[in-house]
Amino acid sequence: MTTSYSWTLAVGFLVFGPVLGALLAGIDRRLTARMQSRRGPPLLQPVYDVLKLFEKDTLVVTRLQTLYLWGFLFFMVISGFILFLGSDLLLSLFALTVSGIFLCLAAYATNSPYSNIGSSRELMLMMAYEPMLIMVPLGFFLVADSFRVSDIVAGEPWQVLQLSGILIGFLFVLTIKLRKSPFDLSSSHHGHQELVKGITTDLSGSDLALVEIGHWYENTILLAWLYLFFAPLGVVWALPIALVLFFAEVLIDNTHARLTWTSTLKGTWSVTALFGVTNLMLLPLIA
């Protein structure tokens, strides 16, 4: 990718990243409604919800709460900016992880038992999925000999076959990152699992709107990560495949009940070891 094209993509992510993320969230809601024999909300309902949140009063327990939420949004944007700039994929992952930690800190700052439990669960989920996420850039490095996104996109078309185990592991943890059943232990985007909404229980008004906007950016980032596996095939093939796999998570969400934290941890680490670690060990033989 040329420098000008990379900067165009990065700036485009800043402006249109939340728009795409909101559309993905809206399609998610519509698909969920159809699976449940409901009509469902309008496609732009996530946008309407956030606009209403900005109009509502914001109850702040401590100023640190809002500061941490801005940190969450800032590092989420930085993660996507690095990714779409075609720069270091590993650095993008680190920024994404720091963003998640800031969200946990914001929940802890409210001093609410419900938020604290949600934050503890979120940290536990990070322990579950982070090892698998780290293996994604490591796998790309072994195949493309670079952590740079631009080099990964320009890789060989068969890299998806070489990284098939890591792709399976990533799809597994993608369910956790999207906060879908059976792994929505800390919070649920659809609110159908519990009356008290986990990590965002004590967030309201503009603070809660920041969280939703951050999740829109995150949707776009996760779709882009999925796209990278198929990027050498060209956008005509890679984007539809990535979208189909992305929305396959909706089917999983509507057909599985929530697991316990012990089952989640054991299951995720087992998949990481079986598919991720095995794939990395075999890569020198098949690359």
Residues 6+ apart with CB under 8 A from 140: 89, 146, 147, 152, 155, 159, 163, 228
Q: Give the CA distances from residue 57 to residues 51, 52, 213, in Å, rounded to whole numbers and listed in that order.
A: 12, 10, 18
Is residue 48 very low, low, confident or very high in pLDDT (cuts 50, 70, 90)? very high
**Parent domain of 116:** 3-147+154-286
Are the C-beta atoms of 132 and 173 separated by less than 8 Å? Answer: yes
| Phi, psi (rounded to 5 degrees) for 73 | -70, -40
What pLDDT is attached to residue 60?
80
Average pLDDT, stretch 186-199? 62
Q: What percent of the chain has pLDDT over 70?
A: 95
**pLDDT per position as a tens digit, 243-264:** 999 999 988 888 887 888 899 9
What pLDDT is attached to residue 58?
82
Is residue 229 very low, low, confident or very high in pLDDT (cuts 50, 70, 90)? very high
HSE value, Cβ hemisphere, 13 Å, CA-based, for 222: 26
Average pLDDT, stretch 265-281? 94
**pLDDT per position as a tens digit, 99-150:** 999 999 998 888 888 888 889 999 999 999 999 999 999 999 999 889 999 9
Residues found in the chain: 287
What pLDDT is attached to residue 285?
80
Are the C-beta atoms of 128 and 264 separated by less than 8 Å? Answer: yes
Average pLDDT, stretch 27-41? 89
CA 134 – CA 202 distance, rounded (Å): 31
CA 175 – CA 180 distance, rounded (Å): 5
Average pLDDT, stretch 198-214? 89
Residue 194 has pLDDT above 80, yes or no: no
Average pLDDT, stretch 201-209? 88
- β-bridge mates for residue 88, sequence order: 148
**pLDDT per position as a tens digit, 165-192:** 999 999 999 999 998 888 887 776 655 5
Tokens at 23, concatenated: 């559309």
Average pLDDT, stretch 30-48? 90
- Which of 130-139, 209-218, 276-285 is the least confident region? 276-285
Write down the residue that tokens 């792709």 correspond to.
Answer: 167
What pLDDT is attached to residue 195?
45
Higher pLDDT, 79 or 253: 79
pTM: 0.93
Average pLDDT, stretch 66-87? 96
Nearest Cα neighbor of 182 from 104, 120, 103, 125 is 125
Q: Count the neighbouring beta carbons within 10 Å of the beta carbon of residue 205.
A: 16
Per the structure, how many domains does the chain have? Answer: 1
What pLDDT is attached to residue 170?
97
